[in-house]
Amino acid sequence: MNVTGEIPDIVVGRLPIYLRELNRMARSEDNMTTSSRDLGHRLGISSAQIRKDLSHFGEFGKQGTGYHIGYLIDQLTQILHLKEEWGVAVVGAGYLGHALANYRGFQDRGFHVVCVFDKDLDKVGIKMGDLTVQGIDELEETIDRMNVEMAIIAVPVSVAQEITDRLVKAGVKALLSYVPIHLNVPEGVQVSYSDPVVQMQRMTYYLTPVATTAAESST
C-alpha cells in the first residue's frame, strides 16, 4: 500500500461501506472476484468513484479481471487498522447505552466494549452482559489503565461537552456521539455523529409534503 498525501475524509468514510459489502459477498457467493461496476451497482455508487477512492491507497485490481474479493478485504482491513482489537468505552448506561454495550456486531469487526460508565448511582454496579457499570468518577483512571482510545457517548446534552473533555484528557482519540449537539474537540481527535433525527430530516427533503399535495389537488 502506498498512501500519499492527505486522504479526504469522505473517501475514508466510504471504505467501511465497501468492506461491509465485500464481506457479505465473500460469505454468501461463490465468485472470488468482483468489478468496480458490480460493486458500484450493489452500493449505488458509480464505478468511477470506487476506482478513484481505491486509487488513493494503491492498485488493487487488474483491468479485465477486476478485484480479488479476499485480497481487497485484506487490504481494506489493513488500511482501516481493523487487524487490531479496539477497546471501546461507553458513557451512559441508559437504554441506548445498554443496547450498545450488548451489541454483538462490534465483536465480529474488531471492537470490544470494555467498560461502561454512568453518574446515576442506581445504575452503577448493575451488570451489562459481562461488564459492570462503573461510576463516572472512575472514568479517567479506567480509560488510562485499559489504554482505551475509542468511546461512545450516550449521555444527556447538558453534560455531553464535559464528558467529551474528560474523555479526551484521559487519552481517547475517537468518539462516536449519539448526542444531538456539535462537540468541540482538539485537533487530532475524531468525532462521528449518529443522530437519527438529522438523517430523517435529510430524507424528508426528497418526500412530497402531504399538506402541500392536498392543497395543490384542491386548486
pLDDT of residue 218: 54
pLDDT of residue 43: 95
pLDDT of residue 209: 76
Domain 9-79, CATH among 1.10.10.10, 1.10.150.120, 3.90.420.10, 3.10.290.10: 1.10.10.10
- What is the tens place of the pLDDT at every residue in 152-171? 999 999 999 999 999 999 99
Q: Which neighbouring-strand residues pair with 177?
A: 153, 193
pLDDT of residue 216: 56
pLDDT of residue 165: 97
SS3 per residue for the chain: CCCCCCCCHHHHHHHHHHHHHHHHHHHHCCCCEECHHHHHHHHCCCHHHHHHHHHCCCCCEECCCEEEHHHHHHHHHHHCCCCCCEEEEEECCCHHHHHHHCCCCCHHHCEEEEEEEECCCCCCCCEECCEECEEHHHHHHHHHHHCCCEEEECCCHHHHHHHHHHHHHHCCCEEEECCCCCCCCCCCCEEEECCHHHHHHHHHCCCCCHHHHHHHHHC
pLDDT of residue 103: 84
pLDDT of residue 145: 95
CATH number of the structural domain 86-200: 3.40.50.720
Residues in the chain where the model's pLDDT stays below 50: 1-4, 214
Distance, in Å, from the CA atom of 168 to the CA atom of 174, rounded to the nearest integer, reads: 9
Cell match 484521559: residue?
Answer: 170
Domain regions of the chain by residue span: 9-79, 86-200
CA neighbor of 185 nearest in space, from 170, 204, 206, 195:
170
Q: Are 97 and 126 in contact (CB under 8 A)?
A: no
Provide φ and ψ at 91, rounded to 5°.
-110, 115
Provide φ and ψ at 3, rounded to 5°.
-100, 115
